Structure 1
Amino acid sequence: MWQSEDFDIVETNEYVNIYNSKGKWMIIDPKMLFGEKQFNL
């Protein structure tokens, strides 16, 4: 797990679970996170 300013990032085998202070925020494909689409984490 690694933390950014706003989120705790939990890596799994196929997906990256992004959590914020309210709990589970969304599950995204790591290819979307690290590929063409960029998120301001």
Structure 2
Amino acid sequence: MKIGLLREGKVPIDKRVALTPQHASVLQQTYSCKVVAQPSPIR
């Protein structure tokens, strides 16, 4: 399974995150999935 995080596209931008790097790591280790995030100049 692959989980994808889209880059921020709305105005004004949000200051929150969908998934922290630590949570992404736990997901990948626990469920054997891959987490990918689109690059963003504002993140």
TM-score tier after normalising by the smaller chain length? under 0.3
TM-score, scaled relative to structure 2: 0.22
Higher fraction of helix? 2
Which of the two has higher C-alpha Rg? 2
The higher-RCO structure (CA 8 Å, 6+ apart) is 2
TM-score, scaled relative to structure 1: 0.22
Higher fraction of strand? 1
